[in-house]
Structure 1
C-alpha cells in the first residue's frame, strides 16, 4: 500500500506551486526552467496518494480563485493538467515519444484555453487589440525615420510579417509547448533515476520517424492554402495546421540527418555539431525531411546494413 503524504509535504507542495506560479507570472521563461522540478514533486505526491494530489489542487485553487489574480489561477490549472497527463503516461508505460505528443497538446490546449478565458472575462485585453497596439507602435517608429527612402517599404514588409505571426499564434504556441514538454521530459528522466516511478522507454533521436501520412497532410495543406485567405476562419485553421505539420517534417529531416551521420560512422559529437547549421537552415532541413519521406532513405540504409 502506498504511504500517505504528510501534512508537511502537502503544505510544501502548495508552497512550491505558489513559488512556480509567482516566478512564471514575472517571467514565463524562468517558469519554464523550473517547471520540471515542480512537476517532479507533484508526480511523487500523486504516486503516493492520488487523494492528497487533488487535495492540494483544491486547497490552492479555491483561495487563488477568490483572493489572487486569475492569471495565477490559470497557471496553476495548466501546471496540474500537465502533471496529470505526464503521470498518466508514466503509469501506463507509454513511450517517451507518445508522452511528448500528449504533453504538447495538453499544454497547448491549456494555454490557449486559459488565454481565451482571460479574454472572455475581461482580465486581459483581447489579443487582437494588444497586437494592434504593438503593430501601430512599430509603424510609428519606422515612420519617424521618414528620411530613409526605404521606410515605406520597411513598414509594409514588417506589417505583413507581424500579421502572419499573429494569425499563426496558435501554431507557434504548439511549437513552443513541444519544446517546453521536451525539456521537462528530459529533465524528469534525470530526476526519476532509481526512483519508484520509472522513466519512459524511448528511441534515440536518430530513430525518430514520423508516419508517412504527415507527408500527404503536408502537401494537402500546402495546396489548400493556395486557395484560401489567412484572414478568414478556415484559412487561419489551414495556416496554423500547415505550420505545425511543417515543423514535424523539419524534425523528421533533422532526425534523418543525425541517422545518416551516424550510419557513416561519424563521431557522435561531430554529428551533433553538424545538426546545428541544419537546425538554423530550416527550409533545407524541411526539404531533407520531405525527400526522406518520399524515397525512404532510412529504410533502404537499414536494409543494406542487414
Structure 2
C-alpha cells in the first residue's frame, strides 16, 4: 500500500497549497474576480484576457477543481485497495464528503455575494463554517495517508493523551474560526497602526468583525497551552513511535505559529503574513490529528511483546 499512501500524502500537500491560494483570494479581495457566477467565470469556462483579480480567482477555482478530482480518485482507490472496515478507507470516504461540502461552501460565498468588500454577518458566519470544514477535510486526508500502510485496526484509548488531543482539537478549531473572522476583519477594516486598530476593536460602535477580532489572540494562547500539553504527553517513551514524531512536529509548529501570529499582529496583517499564518495553522492542525491518529494504532513494540516467540529450529541429525 505504499503507492496509495504516497498518493494520499501528495493529495494532502496539494490541498494545503490550494487552501493557501484561497487565503490569497480573500486577503487581496479577489473573490469577486469572476462576478457572481459559479462554476463559470463571468459566464465563460476560461476567461479571455483576465485582469489581476479575475486571474487570482480563476486560478483558485481551477486548482480547487483539480483537488476535487484528486480526492475522488483517492476515494475510489481506497475502496479498491483497502478491505472493508479499514480505518484509512473510512477516512477517505470522509475526505470526499468534506471536499464536496468545501466546494458547495465556496460556491455559496460567490453566489450570495459574500466576497470582496462585503461585511455582512452572513459572510462572517460562512467564513467560520468554511474554516471548520477545511479543518475537517485536512483531518480526513491526513488520517487517510497516516493509516494507509497500517493494519487498519485502531486501539482507541481513554487516556490523558486522548483527552488532551480532543480538548486541543476543540481549542484549535475555535482559534481557527476566530482567526478566520479576524483575518476577514483585517481585510475589510485595515488598521493604520496597532494602537489605532486596538482602539477600533474596543470601541462601542465598532463593527462586529472588529469586536470579534480581539478574541483571536486569547483563543490562540489557550489553544497553544493545550496543544503543548498534548505534545508533551505524546512524547513519552511508551508512546507510538510515529505519534512521538508527530508530537515533536506539533510542539515546534505551535511555537512557530504563535510567533507568526505576533508578527502578523504587529505588522498589521500584510497579505503574505496572512497566508503564512493560515498555512502554519493548517500544519499545526495536521500534526495534532496525526499525533492522535497514530496514537490510536497498536504500538509496534507491544505487538512484538505479545507475539509468541519463535521456536528454534530442531538440530539436524
Give yes or no for TM over 0.5: no
TM-score (norm 1): 0.29
